[in-house]
Amino acid sequence: MQRLRRNLLAALLLAAVALEAKSLRRLDNDTINAGRDPRDPRLLRLVAYFRANGVQLEYESRLWHAPAYAWHGATVGVSLRTFPEWASTEEMREAISRINLAYALNPTAHIAMSYIVIRGGLDPRDKERVRRLDVRLQAIFRAYDAVAWEAKTTRLSANASTRKGSLLRQPVYLR
């Protein structure tokens, strides 16, 4: 009986410590904003995935712009941010809900992408083009599987660099 009490007390203490540790890892603003670093390898892999799917993104002034989709003086871009690997889907959703910009979440990749941000005046003739671009970007983003994409690009890079006389220094991205 004494042993059962000790085991029960130990289990309760362990559960309390686990709850405390989880509450200490809360996604605060510093953690969320650190995920906007344009040099983050996870963001760079996502940008490469967009490029492989026909959308070139370039980082400028806190947004990833799509220069091919600049119409009549307006620039079109998205905001990208990563989350720590330990963050749960609920924690990431709660974190992006506190941001004054609408984001979509790819929970398996631990990345969020905003809906299109337009800077400059948008000509009414371009509204349908922007809507189609937003739908395309969201579809590519939702289809992104970070683990599969990294494995694929690593395998392609290894194959290309082992060829005799290959000048290729970066991974190959298929369309």
Q: Is residue 5 situated within a structural domain?
A: no
Token representation of residue 69: 């989709």
Q: Is residue 168 situated within a structural domain?
A: no
- Strand segments, DSSP code E, in 83-143 are 103-106, 111-114, 117-119
Burial 115-137 (b: 16+ CB within 10 A, else e): ebbbeeebeeebeeebeebeebb
Which residue range is the domain that position 53 belongs to?
A: 29-159
- pLDDT tens per residue across span 49-95: 999 999 999 999 889 999 888 877 788 899 999 999 999 999 999 99
Per-residue pLDDT band for 44 (boundaries 50, 70, 90) equals very high
Among 29-33, 94-98, 110-114, 148-152, the minimum mean pLDDT is found in 29-33
Whole-angstrom distance, CA of residue 42 vs CA of residue 20: 29
Q: Is residue 95 situated within a structural domain?
A: yes
Whole-angstrom distance, CA of residue 24 vs CA of residue 43: 26
The answer to whether 45 and 109 are in contact (CB under 8 A) is: no
Q: How many domains is the chain partitioned into structurally?
A: 1
Q: Is residue 86 situated within a structural domain?
A: yes
Q: Is residue 78 situated within a structural domain?
A: yes
Amino acid found at 72? H
Contacts of 47 (CB under 8 A, 6+ apart): 57, 64, 80
- Give the number of other Cβ atoms within 10 Å of residue 159's Cβ: 12
Q: Is residue 131 situated within a structural domain?
A: yes
Instruction: Supply φ then ψ for residue 117, to 5 degrees.
Output: -110, 130
Q: Is residue 43 situated within a structural domain?
A: yes
Burial 65-92 (b: 16+ CB within 10 A, else e): bbeebebeeebbbbbbbbbeeebeeebb
Q: Is residue 112 situated within a structural domain?
A: yes
- pLDDT tens per residue across span 115-164: 999 888 777 878 888 889 999 999 999 999 988 888 877 766 555 544 44
